[in-house]
Amino acid sequence: MVSPPLIRTRRLRAAAVIVATALCAGVAVASPASAEPTYDDVVDGLVHRFQLNETSGTVVGNTGSAGAAANATLVHPEKAARGADGIRFNPDGYADALSGAYVQLPNDLTAGMQAVTVDYDIWIDPANVGDHQIWSLGNKASCDAATGQQGQLFSSNTQRLRVAAGTTNVQQNRVRLPEGVWKHVTYTQTPNAGGATWTGTLYVDGVQHAQSTAITTPPSVNAAGTNCNFLARSQVPGNYSFRGTLSDFRVYDRGLSAAEVATRAQQGNDEGVDQDAEAIDLGLTSAVVEDLVLPKNGSVAGSTITWASSDPSVVDVVTPPSATSARKVPIRGVITRPAHGEPDATAVLTATLKKGGDSVAVREIPITVPADYNEAHSVDRDVLDLELHSTDNVRGNITLPTEGRWGSTITWASSSELVSPTGEVTRPAYGRPEVKATLTATVAKGDAKSEKSFDVVIKPLPREEDKERYFLGYFKGEGMADGEQIMFATSNGNTALDWTGLTGGWPSLVSQLGDQGLRDPHIVRSPDGDTFYMIATDLNWYDQGGYAINDTQYIEVFESNDLVNWTPQRHEKVAPDNAGNAFAPESLWVDEIGAYAVFWAQSLWNDPVNRTGQGNAQIWLSTTRDFQTFSEPKVWQDPAPLSRIDTTAIKVGDEYYRVTKNEAGNAGSDIFSEKNTDFLDSDINAWQPVAPALGRTTWQATAGYEGPVIFKANPGDTACPGQFYLWGDRYTNGGGYQAACEANIEAPTWQAKTITMTNAGVPRPRHGTVLPITLREWNSIRGIPNEDVATTVEVSVDDVREDEAAEVTAKVAAADGFETGGQVRFSAGDWSKTVYLQDGAASATIPAGLVPGTQSVKAEYLGFDILSASEATASFEVAHAVDAKVSIAARCVGGKVTLVVTVANDEDRQIGVQIETAYGTKEVGAIPAGKSVSSVFTTRQASIDAGSVTATVSAGKKSEELQSIYKVDYQVPPCAS
């Protein structure tokens, strides 16, 4: 597709003005190039310039007047990425101030300066979190010590962009630099009259952002100089290392004027609006069939964008009110499609981008709005839009849409009986191979029809193991910079009262979407056991200024198959457009629908246009199979005019129990329980009250509780054996989670317990989830190697006749007592067969025709996954098909050896016999049941060698005749001469 045209408008400077500016302000003038803009650079007073553009090594060159003698050093370069755009600090992970990548600037960077300007380009990683400092100048006896600070000057983006000069902050309250885009930042500090105080001015993209006129810390920071000067490192060792990119970091020994500051930002602003304009992506603009969401800010440099339409009857630009309360409402391009049969409509959307004081770019984007679809077009579009998720890793029921966005009906067929036409999945047993299948969708509307196929891979079930430990997801609290991100802890033993944090109080998962906060994490294990879905509240109270202006309809979603590795964060819309929030989401598998119920607390705006006046808090519900496709939300609990939030739920027997917070204000709020056999029942009066005030009757009577957690204790739990756990978040006095246990889930008062947290960042966790886990899962989470599990095989086989097949069974047991799976290979003589285990056992049939006598069969368990191989052997007897006894006697007749072969019939019917010897063959007539017949064979020799006699014994009619061959050895002494 040809890119829409880009129109540039920019303030033009006359050459005379440029020269005059250069003469007056010590500005170096760039050499003009044909058709390219030229930019001034401010060099007067430029003492330190660290371009940060080296591509290797640890030296950071200083091209200011201080020269190479004041070069800087990149510390921990393995944790940084270097390039022409600057140094990207800590791109791959979090670190504290001492262990992360940073630049050690020279000592006494601003020594003797009465005025200073700090100027740089910055790109803040959306993963940046917590207390940090972008740059810092300080004096301490030991830079690595937590104490002894003797003055500091630093900048950070925690909660707001600020420069702190001593105890004075130059800032706008709760206004941060946007993350993920390039910005130009300048800080000037100049002396006031009298020289005892200074004025600090903070600029963003050349425009004044904040100012303070009463700074008492001088630019030199300390008369003794500064020895702790850093980029991307805090003066506080326990703070986070900065995550992001810095470029062209400058220090001037004077305060630049506002005009000079604008000059420094000009080139970046001009290039930024161009890049933002080019980056606008509205999708398939040649066939727009749904309303557009038009970006308010550029994705590269954060330019502000306004929109206009050449024809509002085709695309009408709807801009939300300018009220702060409506700041999250997007700009929309509302389309009007021509009627079917009419020509397509066209219009031009014009984006005007601005950055800094006067950098402007304009991009015109042609839009084509097709006429309403006919049946064939509707089917084509629904086929195009149809998609399935995670088709190469199917571990549960699949969402198979039945209707298309454009009115088509969708029916499904499966090549495998393991997937039903409605998406129910039956997975192969543990130890079986994965199964590949094809799902075919038939999309139809009227006479139009089309098909679309998806290949899927159905994974086998996981191994079943008892739960012996616990896993905890939580957040620390809204009163700290990193407190609203997800933390993990694991239990110390089989108890949910004693915990150790996984990361020493640092977040395990950090939000990079929405409000960039993760509160109230809830984790649900799939009914098959090997998929975990974690959902969390999209809220950052600390950075955003509280929940009352949150205005989000989204929850944050993560997935894992092992609680160690998590998918990238998904920002999923679940609440309706007029909802003001979507707090404390939880989920529960509901057997009756074969899907998860997802429920959350929300209030609806009384004025949905200006986003003001929140109504009562209600609990809403949606259903999902994959946490990617959600049903239309609906009210589940509306106690109007009262409010409810924070529902959690558990199924016990046939009853569903839910525990919810009644929102009555601070200490008046408590958690209560109800039950119902129909979990989806939205009639709150149909839910039977169980316990009206669990928090105040179990713990402190004057406190408020929220965020309940309820779960059944593991088998063998050492703290609350055979009981249920109840946790409640005591939020009114900072108490955090309180715990209790009770065998009776309907008890009105529970037995209070004490939670112990170690290395977890807080004494008590805040709203989260406790999840029972296996010992092997616990080991993996803690980084403890899991050993393979030894197995034993027990083989059994019954004695058979030679004309019968033998049934052999092998039972495979694991040393840990849990499930086994995989294959057993049976072998007996030349025969072998490999069979899958089912419920720990495998059976096979050894074909008839085994040689009579003692036989053996070997069962080799081949091992699988974590289960080691093992084997065993069993012996069994094979009897003749026709039961007889054959004996040999010898006597001497006339000095010659004579053999007498006697056959006795042990059958209950007559038998026939043929006797073969080295001295002849004889057919013996019918031998009645219970009788015997002897046959004499003359050798005509005085002595004979050892040999054998073969007797073929038969019984039954010819069509059903059975035969057995008896071979009897003999060794006869010679006759006397």
Residue 604 confidence (pLDDT) above 60: yes
Q: Please, which pLDDT band fits residue 17 given cuts at 50, 70 and 90?
A: very low
Dihedrals phi, psi of 668, to nearest 5 degrees: -80, -15
Domain ranges of the chain: 45-256, 375-458, 469-782, 791-879, 884-970
Cα dist from 764 to 500, 655, 696, 824, whole Å:
11, 31, 18, 50
Q: In this structure, what are the phi and psi dihedrals at residue 428, rounded to the nearest 5 degrees?
A: -60, 155
The pLDDT, as a whole number, for residue 30 is 35
**pLDDT exceeds 60 at position 9:** no
Residues 6+ apart with CB under 8 A from 619: 599, 600, 601, 602, 635, 636, 637, 638, 644, 645, 647, 660
Q: What is the spatial distance between Cα 973 and Cα 958, in angstroms, rounded to a whole number?
A: 41
List Cβ neighbours of 442 (8 Å cut-off, separation of 6 or more): 410, 411, 412, 413, 449, 450, 451
Q: How far is CA 223 from CA 47, 138, 152, 215, 338, in A?
A: 19, 11, 12, 16, 74
32 pLDDT above the threshold of 50: no
For 469-782, CATH gives: 2.120.10.10
Give the model's pLDDT for residue 5: 36
Report percent pLDDT > 70 for the chain. Answer: 96
The pLDDT > 90 percentage for the chain reads: 90
Q: Which fold has domain 884-970?
A: Immunoglobulin-like (2.60.40)
Question: In this predicted structure, what is the pLDDT of residue 745?
Answer: 98
- Region 100-111 average pLDDT: 97
Q: How far is CA 423 from the centre of its chain?
A: 23
Task: List pLDDT tens digits, range 376-392.
Answer: 999 999 999 999 999 99
**List of residues 6+ apart from 149 with CB closer than 8 A:** 138, 139, 140, 235
Confidence band of 35 (pLDDT split at 50, 70, 90): low
Reported as a pLDDT band with limits 50, 70 and 90, residue 960 is confident
DSSP β-bridge partners for residue 557: 535, 570
Stretch 925-943: mean pLDDT, rounded? 93
Considering only the C-alpha atoms of the chain, give the largest distance between any 2 of them, rounded to a whole number of Å. 152
Instruction: Provide the CATH topology of domain 791-879.
Output: Immunoglobulin-like (2.60.40)
Q: Where does the pLDDT of residue 547 fall: very low under 50, low under 70, confident under 90, or very high at 90 and above?
A: low
> In this structure, how many other beta carbons lie within 10 angstroms of the beta carbon of residue 902?
15
Which of 25, 28, 51, 49 is CA-nearest to residue 40?
28
Specify the pLDDT at position 36: 78
Picking from 152, 151, 169, 168, the residue whose alpha carbon sits closest to that of residue 160 is 169
Computed over every residue of the chain, the mean pLDDT equals 93
Residue-wise pLDDT tens digits, 639-668: 999 999 999 999 999 999 999 999 987 777
- Residue 454 and residue 441: Cα distance in Å, rounded? 8
Per-residue pLDDT at 483 exceeds 50: yes
Q: Output the CA torsion sign for 306, 308, 314, 316.
A: positive
- pLDDT value of residue 546: 66
For residue 4, pLDDT over 60 is answered with no
Residue 833, CA atoms < 13 Å, CB-side half-sphere: 14
Distance of alpha carbon 262 from alpha carbon 248, whole angstroms: 16
Residue 925: per-residue pLDDT: 85
Could you read off the pLDDT of 224-272 as tens digits, one per residue?
A: 999 999 999 999 999 999 999 999 999 999 999 999 999 999 999 999 9
Give the span between the Cα atoms of 892 and 974, in whole angstroms: 8
The pLDDT confidence band at residue 624, using thresholds 50, 70 and 90, is very high
Residues 792, 545: contact at Cβ < 8 Å?
no
20 dihedral zone (left: phi>0; alpha: psi -120 to 50; beta): alpha
382: left (phi over 0), alpha (psi -120 to 50) or beta: alpha
pLDDT at 28 over 50: no
For residue 106, say if its preceding peptide bond is cis, omega within 30 degrees of 0. no
- The whole-angstrom separation of Cα 551 and Cα 329 is 9
pLDDT at 11: 33
C-alpha 9: how far from its chain's center?
45
Distance CA 225, CA 919 (A): 122
C-alpha 251/C-alpha 45 separation (Å) is 8
- Residue 919, C-beta contacts closer than 8 angstroms, at least 6 positions apart: 899, 937, 938, 939
DSSP state string for 126-175: TT--SS--SEEEE--S-TT-SS----EEEEE-SSS-EEEETTEEEE-TT-
DSSP string, 7-47: EEEE----HHHHHHHHHHHTEEEPPPBTTB---EEE-TTEE
**Among 672, 677, 683, 567, which residue's Cα sits nearest to residue 621?**
683
The predicted model scores a pTM of 0.90
Report the pLDDT value the prediction gives residue 545, as an integer from 0 to 100.
Answer: 72
Checking DSSP bridges between strand 756-758 and strand 448-458, what pairing results, if any?
unpaired
Identify the DSSP state of 566: B
pLDDT, tens digit, 9 for 90 and up, residues 46-57 = 999 999 999 999
Over residues 260-288, mean pLDDT: 97
**DSSP character for 678?**
-
pLDDT of residue 808: 98
Work out whether the CA dihedral 93, 94, 96, 97 comes out positive or negative. Answer: positive
Cα radius of gyration rounded to whole Å, the chain: 41
The type of residue at 947 is G
Domains 469-782 and 791-879 share a fold: no
Query: Which helix (H) or strand (E) covers residue 183, if one does?
Result: strand 182-191
> Are 85 and 245 within 8 A, CB to CB?
yes
- Band (584; pLDDT cuts 50, 70, 90): very high
Average of per-residue pLDDT across 833-841:
97
Q: Which CATH class is domain 45-256?
A: mainly beta
What is the token pair recorded at 155? 């900048």
Record the tokens describing residue 885, joined without a space.
């006894």
Specify the DSSP element, H or E, that contains 915: strand 911-917
Strand order, beta sheet including 634-637? 583-590, 595-602, 618-624, 634-637
Asked if 724 and 655 count as a contact pair (C-beta separation under 8 A), the reply is no
Contact criterion met (CB below 8 Å) for 905 and 927: yes
DSSP assignment string, 345-410: EEEEEEEEEEETTTEEEEEEEEEEEPPPP-HHHHHHHHHHH---S-TTSB-S-----SB-TTS-EE
